[in-house]
Amino acid sequence: MARILVTGGAGFIGGAMAEALAKDPENEVLVFDNLLTGALCKLPRSENNNVHFIQGDVNHFEDIAKVFRAWDFEYVFHYAALVGVLRTLQSPIKVLEDIDGIRNVLELSKIGNVKRVFYSSSSEVYGEPFEIPQNEQTTPLNSRLPYAIVKNVGEAYLRSFHQEHQLNYTIFRFFNTYGPKQSDDFVMTKFIKAALKGDDITIYGDGAQTRTFCHIKDNVAACKRIFEANLHLNDTVNIGSDKEIPIIDLAKKILEISQGNGKIIHLPALSEGDMTRRCPDNSKMKNILQRELISLEDGIKELCEYLKEEEHVRN
């Protein structure tokens, strides 16, 4: 049996990961979350009665220390963070407070002899890209904004705790991920919800900026396999799709699939925080999965159905 902590587990990716971990009845999963952007309805469901929830702030040492003392964790997934482009641009000091949370988790994991800490970093550490695709080892990091800097500092903390205290880690550099239960302020959910309502889709600038979109099932499958098969110990892994698409084409595709009547409206470009391109070298991830990733078309169709159903249940 493994006792596993998932911080941020009432959120989109943390919740999906915690749910996957709880499918194994041998695991006991504790979700720790302050419900800042998470919600009780996103908490993982398990038939095994092995998911537990404690509300608290990982950036407050005593909140999280109490939980470590009571639980004796073997594995930690540290996914809690202040997220969202606009939210992080508007509250840079609050973003920087997340460094406290990373240090708290590592300090307590060291004291508690945790076997491995899995950390959700971000493609944002690459910043404005030096090269495409972005490789974990060879692409220089260009983190300038607080959110990206925090992720970069977090990665440095993990490597340093390993060097000085032999605490094992794996860094996941998540690229744009999408799927059910994601907050409305992320591009995919925002666009699809607008399209389904027949509203216009608004994009920043000309929409030539590219992104790749990874389905949450592929994200979780890769991360779970790394955990279960003991892969990529003390290593960094890009977790994302390598199919690049300009944001304007994403909007068009969503309007086409959802048969929305809205138009595409251009807002002024963001002055910062909206990188021109982003695309991972995801060969490590593909090696782990040994299968094709879910196609964008299939993912959008599935999410349209999910969001229609959600709207139907709400009304």
Ligand X SMILES: NC(=O)c1ccc[n+]([C@@H]2O[C@H](COP(=O)([O-])OP(=O)(O)OC[C@H]3O[C@@H](n4cnc5c(N)ncnc54)[C@H](O)[C@@H]3O)[C@@H](O)[C@H]2O)c1
Interface residue list for ligand X (CB under 6 A): 7-8, 10-14, 33-38, 57-59, 79-83, 101, 120, 122, 174, 176-177, 183
Nearer to ligand X, 10 or 194 (CB): 10
Query: Minimum distance between the CB of residue 151 and ligand X, rounded to whole angstroms?
Result: 7
Minimum CB distance to ligand X, residue 115 (Å): 21
> Cβ 145 to ligand X, closest distance in Å?
13
27-33 and 2-7 beta bridge pairing: parallel
Identify which of 65, 22, 46 has the alpha carbon closest to the alpha carbon of residue 32.
65
* 2 token code pair: 């493994």
What's the min distance (Å) between Cβ of 15 and ligand X? 7
Q: Would you state the structure tokens that stand for residue 256, as one six-digit string?
A: 């086409």
Shortest distance, position 259 Cβ to ligand X, whole Å:
26
Nearer to ligand X, 151 or 262 (CB): 151
Query: Nearer Cβ to ligand X, position 11 or 127?
Result: 11
Q: How far is the CB of 212 from ligand X (least distance, A)?
A: 10
Report the run of H or E that residue 258 belongs to, with start and end.
helix 247-258
Which residues, in sequence order, are CB contacts of 300 under 8 Å at separation 6+? Answer: 188, 192, 253, 254, 257, 258
| Closest CB to ligand X among residues 31, 167 | 31
* 166 class by beta-carbon count within 10 Å (0-12 exposed, 13-18 middle, 19+ buried): exposed
Q: Which CB, 184 or 235, lies closer to ligand X?
A: 184
Task: Spell 174-209 as b/e; 16+ CB within 10 A means b.
Answer: bbbbbbbbbbeebbbbbbbbbbbeeebbebbeebeb
Confirm if 75 and 49 have CB atoms less than 8 A apart: no
Give strand pairing partners of 32. 7, 54
Compare residues 37 and 258 and give the one whose CB is closer to ligand X. Answer: 37
Look at residue 18 and give its three-state secondary structure.
helix
Comparison of 31 and 248: residue with beta carbon closer to ligand X: 31
**Minimal distance, residue 73 CB to ligand X, in Å:** 15
8 Å CB contact between 52 and 28: yes
